Structures are given as C-alpha cells and as structure tokens.
Amino acid sequence: RVKRIFGNKSLKRITISTRQLLTVMIACMTVDLIIIGSWEVSSPLKFYRTILSRDNYGNPLVSTGQCNSEHSTTFVCLVAAYHLSLLIYGSKLSYDCRNVDVAFSESRYITVAMVSNLQVLALAVPVLIIVADNPSSTMFLRSGVLFLNDLSVLCLIFVPKMILAHNTAPNTKVSSLNPTADFNQQQTTATATQD
C-alpha cells in the first residue's frame, strides 16, 4: 500500500482498500495451504520410533521418535522456497519504501525485521542440519530459532510505538497522521518551557 501510494509518479489518486490487501494475504495463505494440503494427501506424515539402545533382556532403554513421510524432503523444500521468496519480496518492498517518513510507514523497522529473519534462517539451517541426529539439540535449536525470529519482529514493530507513547506527555494528543512531528513539537515545547 505504502509503495503504491508514495511511488505514484503520475500523482493520480490511488485508493487501496483493506479488501485488496486482504485478498493478497489470503492468496499467499492459499498457496501455503495448497502445498501443505498436497503433502497431507499424497504423502502423509507418520510417526516412527527408533530404538537406540536395549538392556540385556531386549527391552528398549533409549529411543527417539519423529514424524516422517516418503516425500517429506520435497515438500519441506517447497514450503521453505515459498517462504524464502516471500521474505525476499517483503525485503524488497521494505527497501523500496525506505525513504517514506516513519509517520506513514514502518518500512525501516520492517526492513530490519526482515534482515533479522534472513540472518536467523541463514545461521539456523546449517546448524539444524549438523545436529539433526541429536533430538534434544534439535528441539532446543528449533525453539530458539522460533523465539529469536518472533521476538525480533515483535520488538521491532511494537517497541518504537511503545517508546513514542511513553515519551508523549499526558494530555497531549498524538495525530494519527504524523506522530513523529507531534513528538518533535512536544520535545521543542518542553525544551522551551525549561529555558
């Protein structure tokens, strides 16, 4: 939305409805559902348990379990390629909107979040391959990757808003159009009254 509005070279009026944005989001989710649905229909996951050690009587002492299917690698690669392409496209859109004022767009924060996601994935994938045979390490690493990925996105999107709300003096109305200008004006007024 921001790219189309601020990239409008002809200065014609552009209206982008919430419905249009929802259509794009639903289309992206539909592609995901088609890939995962095809996976479930053609090669459903099944739980397999592998016994690693037995006692003297043949009773299992240590075992691991995981879900797997005949074509799971193919579908995991499809999902990963699709998500990576969405991440790269989102990074490109954020880069294109980098010069738009923060009051109208959060593209700077979104760009940093996208780069953070790419870094986490670039580091996590090789390490996950290395520790694939160790279930405890794999589980810990997967949990850590999800935590870092989600926390970085949430912090980069919401912390600047919380800081703006915290630094805004009581009884000061922040304009929905330009909170940055209101904040700067408030800081100038506060400095002037202190002098």
Read off the pLDDT of residues 126-178 as tens digits, 9 standing for 90 and up: 998 898 888 888 889 989 999 988 898 888 888 887 887 778 766 665 554 44
Q: 56 to each of 16, 53, 61, 179, how far by Cα in Å? A: 71, 10, 10, 72
Cβ 144 vs Cβ 42: under 8 Å: no
Handedness of CA 86, 88, 89, 91 (dihedral sign): positive
User: Quick one: which H or E segment has residue 46?
Assistant: strand 46-54
Model's pTM, two decimal places? Answer: 0.65
What secondary structure, in 3-state letters, does 55-124 show?
CCCCCEEEEEEEEECCCHHHHHHHHHHHHHHHHHHHHHHHHHCCCCCCCCCCHHHHHHHHHHHHHHHHHH
Cβ 87 vs Cβ 117: under 8 Å: yes
> Of 89, 81, 92, which is closest to residue 32 (Cα–Cα)?
81
18-39 pLDDT, tens digit each: 888 899 899 999 999 999 999 9
